[in-house]
Structure 1
Amino acid sequence: MAALLSADPRPRRLAAPSRSRRASWSSRLRTSAPGSPRSGWGGIGWCLRSSTCWRRSAIEAPAEGEAFAPVRRSQDERWNINLAVARQFHARDGHLSVPRKHVEMITMDGGGEGMQEAVKLGAFIDNSRRRAATLSPERRAALDGLGMRW
């Protein structure tokens, strides 16, 4: 009984690594990503600028003078894409009761072998409901045609 009372209920800490192991581990972290100031990965920006990274990966390198930039779309283009995704969802499921986190895939560039793009349909539907008072009559009529629950 005395042995049970004197036992320390806290778990024992593991011993810290030796000085040589600590140094080699931290130096590997510091040099793991060229251009990272201290330790860790430091982002992948170094990989995008490095020709060796392009040769080792399956990603195609950008052409000379071509820059990486996300596709910028106007509000009307985004509305049309979101509406097309809402029509696709409604045709498949018969309703627009979409959870806020729902993401729907749509094929861009027409045809059967275009690129797949993820569209946040749940956020679009939820935001449309919240901003119903400010929607134009045409946009509101388009959503009403799909049986939108306001």
Structure 2
Amino acid sequence: MASAVIVQGEGLGAWVAAQHTGFERLVPAQQWVLTALGIQPAATAEEPQMPARPRRWQAGRRALGLAAARQFHTCEGRLTVPCKHVETVGGVEVRLGNWPGNARAALTASAPGSAQN
């Protein structure tokens, strides 16, 4: 459930949950203030709940980025893409921006014989 109260751009409920689960990492003065506010440490080491969202598999993202790059190249005749450019492919908006350079770097890093640290 989304937080109904927003303070300085952050949901108050999400902030309280983060303080609750990360209580042990706070300094004693912060713990004291939170305890005075009625926020107690989590009973067990809970993993923070991430909001459910659909995940696109790596191969699907790569294929979508490649389709967007091809479409951009067909329209513009070049593959030098502005950083904030968004290309629409099949009704899906793809933030193309730095994708060509990132894809090249990923392919170079994963190539056999490349130096990996």
| TM-score bracket, shorter-length normalisation | 0.3 to 0.5
TM-score (norm 2): 0.47
Higher relative strand content: 2
Larger Rg: 1
